[in-house]
Amino acid sequence: MERVENKEKKKSLEELDTLPAEHFIKPYEIVLFTVLVLFVLFIIFPKKKETPYLHAERETKTPEKEKVSKFSLEYIKNLLKTSRYSQKEEILKRYIDELLTAGRTDLAYQVLQNYKVYIKNPLDYLLIEYKILAKKYIQTTSKKEKAILKKRITQVLNLILSKGYNDIKLIKFVYTQALKYNDSKLVEKALYRLYEIDRKNRLIWLEKLITYKVSNKSYKGLSTLIKTYASFIETVNNYSKKKEIMKKSIDTLLLIHDYETLSYILEKYRHFFIKDPKMTKFMIKSALMANKPSLAAKISQEFLEGSQ
C-alpha cells in the first residue's frame, strides 16, 4: 500500500517538473502583492496623528495619577513631566486655554507664572497673560480688584506695544483694547505708532488721533499734529479731501485758540483754495476770528485779483 502511495507522490512530483514556469508564483510577485496589501490597509486605516498634548495626557493615566484633578497644578506638572521639551510650550498653551474655557482664571495665571520658562517668545507670554487678565477682569465684580487688574492690563498692553513695535496687526490690537479700557494715553500712543508704520493709511490714523485728542480735550501736542495733517493738502489729489483737511485744521486751531499756527496754515495753503468763493469766505472769516485782520485783507485782495 505504501509503495503505491510513494509511486503516486513520485509521479505527481514528476508531473510538476514538466509544468511551464508561468504556473509558479515568482518571488517578486509575492513582494508586490505584500506591498499592495499594506498600501490598501494604510488607505483604509490611516494612522491617526496624535497631538503632543493628547499623547502626554494619555501617559499620565497611571493608577496613582488618575486621582489627580484635571484642574490642578499637579495635573499640568504630570503632563509636562511626561512630554518632550519641544512639546511643552504647546501643551502649556492648550492647557491654559482649557482652564480659561472652564473659567479657572486664577489657576491659569498661576500655571503661566510657574511654567513661563517654557514660553520661548516674550511677546507670546504677554499675549497669554493679557488673555488671562482680560477674562478675569470680566469675571470679577469687585471694583477694587477691577482697578488692580486694569492697572496690570494696561501695563501688559504697553509692553506688547513696545515688543511688537513694527507689527501693524498687533498695534491695531493694542489700540482696540486700550479703547476698551479707556486708557487714553495708550490709545494715543498706538494711533501715533500706526500713523508712523502703516504707510498706506497714514492720513486715516492721523485723523483718528486728532479726533480722539479733541474729544478727550487732550490738547498737548495737538498743534504739531495739525501742522502735519495740513501738509497732506499738498499730496492729496482729491479737491474735496483738500478742503476737508483745511477746514478741520482751521476749526481745530480755533477751538484750542492757537492763532499763530492757524495764521501759518492760511499763509502756506490758501493758494489751493483762493479761486473757490466759499473756501475764500471761510478763510477770511477764520483770519478775522484769529484776530488777523491784515491776513484777512490779503486773502480778500488775492481772491478779487484772481477773479478778474
Q: pLDDT tens-digit profile of 28-84?
A: 566 566 656 565 555 554 544 434 443 334 334 444 444 456 777 888 888 888 888
Residues sharing a CB contact under 8 Å with residue 212, sequence separation 6 or more, in sequence order: 184, 187, 188, 191, 218
**Nearest CA-CA partner of 128 in 116, 114, 139, 140:** 116
Is the pLDDT score of 16 beyond 60? no
Q: What gap in Å lies between CA 86 and CA 92, rounded to an integer?
A: 11
pLDDT at 308 over 70: no
The cell numbers describing 173, all together, are 490690537
Instruction: Find out whether 79 and 72 touch, Cβ atoms under 8 Å.
Output: no
Q: What is the pTM of this model?
A: 0.74
CB of 175 within 8 A of CB of 190?
A: yes
Grid cell digits, residue 151: 492697572
Q: Write the DSSP symbol of residue 47.
A: P
